[in-house]
Structure formats: C-alpha cells, structure tokens
Amino acid sequence: MTEERRSDGAATPGPARTTDRALAALDAVIAAYSAVGLIYLASGGFDLGFVSVRRFSKPFLLLLALASLRAAIPRSSWLPRLLGAAARRVRDRAAILDRRTPWAAAALDALVAVLTVHLVSKGTAFLSNVLFPAARPRPFPMPFEAAKFAETFAAWDSGWYFDIAQRGYYWNPSGQSSIAFFPLYPMLMRALAWPFGGSDRALWTAGIVLSYSSLLLGLAVLHRLTAKTFGNRETARRTLLYVAVFPFAYFFTQVYTESLFLLTSDSV
C-alpha cells in the first residue's frame, strides 16, 4: 500500500489519498456549478458555443444533490478550507468595522440572516416548482425564460403591484380593482425601473430588488434598535434570526409590500 505525507507529517494511506482526491474533484464540480449559477442569475443565461445555459433547473437540482452529498461527508478538502479561511477573514474584518461603527455589525448580521434563511427557502420553493405541478395557474405573466425560478419571487398579489406600477390604478364596479393596494411600493418599482426603460422585465426586477433592499435595511435598523435597547449584539442578532426564520417572513422577499413596511415601521 502506497503512502504519502500529510501537511502535519503523518502518513496518508492509499485509500485515504484516493478519497481526498475524490472529494477534491467533488468540490471542484460544486464550485463550477455554483459559479455557473451565479453567472446565470446575473445575466439571465448565456451561450458561449461550447457551453450554453438557458435554463438552470436541471443544473440547480444536480447542484443541490451534490451539495447535500458533500455536506454529509465530514472529511475536509480544499473547498471547505478555502471557505473557512474566507469566513475567518470576514469575521476579522467585521470585528474591526464593529469597533469603528456599530452599523457594520448590523449590516453583517442582517446579510447573514437573509442568506442563511431566505436563500434556503428560495431554493426549496424552486425545487417544489420544478418537481410538482402548480395547484392553479398563475394569473399574471412574467417576462422571464426561467419562469419557475422567477415565481419564487412573485405570487398572488404580486400581479396587482406590477399592474399598478405598469399602468396605474383602475376601478372596476363589477369586479376586483387595484384601488385596494397602497401606492408607495408600486411607485418605487416604477421609479427604479424607469432608468432601465420601464419594461415589464425591468418592473419585475425592480420589485425584487426593492424587496430585498428593504429587507436588508429594515433588519439593519431593527438590529440597531434592539442593540440600543438591550445593549447586547447577541440579542440583536437573535432578533434578526427570529424575524427571518418566521414562516410569514417568506413574503419579505416576494414582490410584496411587507419588507418595505418592515423598513418604514422600524424607521418611525
């Protein structure tokens, strides 16, 4: 049996070395699929000739399966070590910023709360959209090729806010009307979409950006309010996590007014 030396000087047997190589290859595949996913989210798809990604449903499912498999294997490899080193650098920088300004800690804790909770919920919602048929058809169109992914950001009353941002209010004496919805959120959607042409896609994207921005800012303000009240960052961090993990908080990242309401109510 062949052996090699680890960084600590101990011998690594052949089977363990093979396992390390397999895990390193698995980490490389996960990193590659993650990079493709980020590029897809930023660009809406791409075609390089030899590599073409127009829909990310199947790659996402494969990435989810590979990540779950990797999480079940406690053995370390280059990717966990790289992520661990990056996390330590972020913590060190955050500690420096925390000493300089308390808003840095609030922003970091708000970002962690959103990433750890809402990205998981969005991934679960997308997986459900891919695997299970809709109980009822969506009553409004969405101008995106990846409709199943876009639907994780819009449901039910999202169509009303989009309609108000697109053409304003209307009154229908014999049916439902848009006058039941408050104007601030669709006004901001329209304002954010205007520099980008005000198209349907720009309006939907503006609504998503508005919801996430309002959520992050609202959680940061709530963090500062809690820290000032109780004088403890840990209490503020737990408060943000409790707000983020509450089931109704899923609508904070929808094209809904909830995140904007959270921000404005914190700021009053």
**CA–CA separation, 220 vs 112, rounded Å?**
11
Strands (E), the chain: 3-5, 11-13, 46-47, 52-53
- Average pLDDT of the segment spanning 193-214: 90
What sign has the CA pseudo-torsion 95, 100, 102, 108?
negative
Residues 83-114 have pLDDT tens digits of 778 878 877 776 676 666 767 788 888 888 88
Q: Is the predicted pLDDT of residue 20 greater than 60, yes or no? A: yes
Least confident of 110-124, 149-163, 243-257: 110-124
Is residue 164 over pLDDT 50? yes
| In the chain, domain spans | 1-99, 101-268
**How far apart are the two ends of the chain, measured CA to CA in Å?**
70
pLDDT attached to residue 211: 93
